[in-house]
Structure 1
């Protein structure tokens, strides 16, 4: 016996279809072309009926699979009000389960109570459901202050079963990859204000020993804030903090320059966890767009820059780059939680079961394989002191500028990356043309999309190295240094001419002295602007070869 309902949507999709119920399970088939959805009867836990934007929705809670005990849900919409009694009878006859009516709050209030169950975060107003959000879609949860909890949500196009437990692959076929004007709205962040305190559970009491050896229980004096309790519940249920399942490797206390702090990094097959004292992040390897391994000018550390799209967030602050710092000479003994068969089949033999190498080399290799992105290193540029970078400022922030083969990257608190393909022209200039600034110059990068970046206070000795490097890559260059110097010399000449008109013609000796001073000043101005000294080193900064020459000092075991 089968019963069928017409004109039903699956999930949030826009395709109408028909749904059919039988004792073996249920199936939904679109009227036009598309995939058929089937649900076996033994996977069904319960049914719920509620009002939604597209008439009425049938929500089906499903059991988790063998590797995942968390329940999931499937939804079907556009049922009519008159279908309720008929549908309830069908579900009772086929599956011996009732159809539960869910009452929704229509008051429009923005205050109520937030509840976390095994699958959803529910916002309840006067014992009626206002809305529910799947925990599988929550990427991060953070506490802003003591009473505010922010939840960040995964990009829908990245909610794939192999990457995020329980989320569907296409959310009903919504066009997240289509043109911007056709894309639907999406929820990216939500903040809840949760004041007050909560009492600790009985199992959180502390047992202390007295001098006589007796034990008695005493409640902890400190109470947990309601915001912290909600945040911890989200982390536990949404699988943001400690992850159920086996990780590949754990990196302890890694120094992260952006966002600042020390984090534990848990590496898993499809994503990584960045766990700090205050903030936790889940980052998909598919979000990694570029990798950079850069030597610091101190010759002691290296920085590993990870470009992310979409970026991670701390409140309103976005971090499109992760900047990790490692000592060059620090080594690590690491054994991956992978068998040889997986290494050979899934990773094409690009990983090793055991590593005993410098820490930064191990981390770089793992990220390169997991993200399937090449690692960019400095090649071809050498500064006047033999470095592969130059020091400069952006506004008030000091940083290091690395001219790479295909892009410029400036590493500081907020990393700046400019591909050469996006550069309209480079302008060498010295602000004001004053003598005090003759030892430095500015590099202004004008992009094709109208945004400019100015790298200030670059040592004058680096002009030839940078100019030649960019010229080899056929980047349009404009040099305003010589124009500044010539303009300053002309201004001085005009001032001297005005003095001569006022005081009258000087005698021959004074005239000779003035001419000598003028010539000296013009020569000095020309030297400052147009003839910077040559770079003192032409050696190729091969980063990998430099690393092999470094002695090994200490080892870190994981």
Structure 2
């Protein structure tokens, strides 16, 4: 019990909908990671103020209150998980509280303001609750009605079709919870409390700083970018977009070209707010390159981390290589912990999600021999094929991947395989330039794919077609099938073996096998190849 508990398929609730992920509860705190990478929530044990359980439709919900922050709500727990986690929390000095959900359908009751959460109670049971951090404006309608307007977030459409925009409360003059007078009725008292806790008011409507005429790729056009206290707004001639900082997971500052455009920006913010809430995060004014000033201010307001290019440099000392993904041309940024393809489709690939990488050369003849492809296969069996990378980028890109593997405590096995077999490289001659090499073992540990030109490379090339997202999975080589089947046996026969040594052991074992011993795997590879061809023909 002291080691903690790990739960899969746990949903984190929020204004943008629910996101599935993995939740780990340990004596040190709580860690939730979004499935497929991205947003992570980490709460230290010392920051936890309270924990509550609630039975919700078809599952159970765990709510965690942290110091000076919101409630985190996790759903997806089974009934048997309640007693296990309750005992775990109690053994570490936290007593979970059980709440009940009201299902009576009544729309009258009491309002409880706890921190930045508003809870509507019917009797002693909770009917609903909202975060006051999402409230953008409050206003009185008559003497007894209070209207709460919520922030619009244009990023929520990906998860939820509907979004809460407005909520109205009717508070009669005889209300005993919020006592007022003739000039200050109970509804006005309630509104004042909301304004105080939600931190809304006249200052919340004014932009902290505005950047005019910024060229944006998605959505395409020129926009005025307004940075507010809790959101940013893109204002164009025809469109208006708003993004909540709570929806921002990470910022990427990826140089595309050099610029010397210098700006000076003064923040429109009170000194009290600047030197309290944003102390050590923001300064009264900034002067410098526009992208640096914009990123610094946005980071201070959103508290999101900034990722910049790492050690990779292209042959022209740039930070990215030109390539194509599907039918779109763009640039691929090899970063310290991920690959990022821009501008569309914007594709982020974390290193920890990669199963293996293949370098694929084009067949000799024609202009295609000056390019190569990079195939990245994920552990989810999804593949990303980056086409038409210039051949002179190969050595820098390969050396960068090799460096990331050798310096990583957790090796990516097929990537390491290419390094181990470098002595068996197949050169492709090109007069006047360095030899371009593709990682291919003489024992066929990695099977060379046919180029898109194939045997008809001399014929006229057909125009490129868009890749079908429902296309069948590519066929596997004999070595890949062998390594997948034998990996567990190598682990069992060599307790304590590390990832890199597993790959080396598999490669040595494969190279030592005779043609007869390899034949079953070759046959499975031929069957898989035939399967792929048959599925492709069915689609055609």
Sort the TM-score into its range (normalised by shorter chain). Answer: 0.3 to 0.5
Whose strand fraction is larger, Structure 1's or Structure 2's?
Answer: 1
Instruction: Say which one has the larger Rg.
Output: 1
* TM-score, normalised with respect to structure 2: 0.44
Higher relative contact order at CA 8 Å, sep ≥6: structure 1 or structure 2? 1
